[in-house]
Amino acid sequence: MQRTKLSTKSILPLTCSRSGTCCFGKAVMLNPWELIRFSKEKKITSREFRDLYCDFGGIQLRFNGKPDKKGQPACSQYINNFGCSVHQGRPLACRLYPLGRQIQFNKAHYIYQGDKFPCLNDCSEVLQLPKLTVEEYIKGQETADFEKAQDEYLLVMQNIADIGFELLLDSGLAESGDTKTLAVWREMGKELPELLAERIGKEWIDCLMIPNINDDVENPITFAKKHNDLLVLKAQEKFGSLQTLQELHEASVLIIGIALHLSRGLGADTQGISEHWIEIAKSHGALE
Ligand code: SF4
């Protein structure tokens, strides 16, 4: 789909009309910090929020509410004639909409998808409202902490993936002539989220999406760093004394699967990332 890159000075019909048309039929992805922010707003545990309102182990908000005129289901957090029930805790995707955020060469850009500005398709009344620059809109939506969480979790994703690389490249597995591991990395990049979540299993999904971190929730960077340490520690405990090539293969697949699942929760191109990682592994001697 066509993507239009915007400058922060671009002026667009960005004022939210609050008619709520953007809360129907969307795929709203979540990172672990966003999930816990939601649960705090809702005054329930992150596990309860995840189990009641999310899909695929917590990486996607469930849309199972009353459908609109087009038959598109409402977000589980949407209340008829009221709007979002968790407005203060809403995630980055909702704060930015109809914009998206793309990272290229370590720099973030705001974009919109399609050949026409999305609000003009679904919500033409925004034309009656005052226009804003992208910068003004983003500021009004208080995206700063949510953008920091997104950026920090991209680092967590890379750190987890690095463990998968070590298990393949530094353990003797790649040197043994193994070809199975990269084949499964590729398969997982294309796998449906429900199948990847099932492959990863409940124990690791819980550690990924509802970590036991109760302090520092207000600070997304500290939270994500603590989460990173928990994941790395768990991997060290589980994979520190593997013996056989089969065990190394399974561990590398599992860890890369977890990193790919997180990438999907970050709204990234999971298939593109898996292909990129495969090319890097091959350039370091792994076979396919
Ligand atoms: S979380 Fe709130 S703003 Fe986001 S889609 Fe759901 S109801 Fe709409």
Between the CA of 128 and the centroid of ligand 1 the distance, in Å, is 23
- Pull the structure tokens for residue 169: 């490249």
- Pull the structure tokens for residue 29: 């992805």
- Model pTM score: 0.93
Q: Band of the pLDDT at 188, cuts 50, 70, 90?
A: very high
The pLDDT score that the predictor gives to residue 253 is 98
Cα 223-227-230 angle, rounded to 5 deg:
145
Residue 45 belongs to some domain of the structure: no
The pLDDT score that the predictor gives to residue 209 is 98
151 and 277, same structural domain?
Answer: yes
Over 70: is that where the pLDDT of 265 sits? yes
Structure confidence by residue, pLDDT tens digits, 117-149: 666 666 666 777 778 888 888 999 999 999 999
Number of domains present in the structure of the chain = 2
CA–CA distances in Å: residue 110 to residues 87, 132, 166: 22, 14, 34
The pLDDT score that the predictor gives to residue 113 is 78
Burial of 226 (0-12, 13-18, 19+ CB in 10 A): middle
Lowest mean pLDDT among 4-8, 42-46, 148-152, 259-263: 4-8
The pLDDT score that the predictor gives to residue 206 is 98
Contact 162, 43 (CB under 8 A): no
Beta carbon of 90 within 6 Å of any ligand 1 atom: yes
Closest C-alpha to ligand 1, atom 4: 94
- Domain around 181: 145-283
263 and 177, same structural domain?
Answer: yes
The pLDDT score that the predictor gives to residue 207 is 98
Lowest mean pLDDT among 53-67, 132-146, 220-234: 132-146
Residue 47 belongs to some domain of the structure: no
Structure confidence by residue, pLDDT tens digits, 74-115: 999 999 988 899 999 999 999 998 888 987 767 788 888 777
Q: How far apart are the first and last CA of the chain?
A: 31
Q: Spell out the SS3 assignment of the chain.
A: CCEEEECCCCEECCCCCCCCHHHECCCCECCHHHHHHHHHHHCCCHHHHHHHHEEHHHCEECCCECCCCCCCCECCCEECCCEECCHHHCCHHHHHCCCEEEEECCEEEEEEECCCCHHHHHCHHHHHCCCEEHHHHHHHCCCHHHHHHHHHHHHHHHHHHHHHHHHHHCCCCCCCCCCHHHHHHHHHHHCCHHHHHHHHCHHHHHHHHCCCCCCCCCCHHHHHHHHHHHHHHHHHHHHCCCCCHHHHHHHHHHHHHHHHHHHHHCCCCHHHHHHHHHHHHHHCCCCC
129 and 88, same structural domain?
Answer: yes
89 and 211, same structural domain?
Answer: no
The pLDDT score that the predictor gives to residue 105 is 67
Q: Band of the pLDDT at 16, cuts 50, 70, 90?
A: low
Residue 58 belongs to some domain of the structure: no
As a whole number of angstroms, the distance between CA 258 and CA 204 comes to: 8
Structure confidence by residue, pLDDT tens digits, 99-109: 889 877 677 88
Which ligand 1 atom is at minimum distance from the Cα of 90? Answer: 1
Beta carbon of 120 within 6 Å of any ligand 1 atom: no
165 and 88, same structural domain?
Answer: no
Q: What is the dihedral of CA 272, 156, 208, 102, to 10 degrees?
A: -50
Best residue among 90, 97, 122, 123 to mutate for probing ligand 1's pocket (most ligand atoms within 8 Å of CB) is 90
125 and 214, same structural domain?
Answer: no
Beta carbon of 154 within 6 Å of any ligand 1 atom: no
Closest C-alpha to ligand 1, atom 2: 84
Mean pLDDT of 155-182: 98
Best residue among 19, 22, 23, 60 to mutate for probing ligand 1's pocket (most ligand atoms within 8 Å of CB) is 23
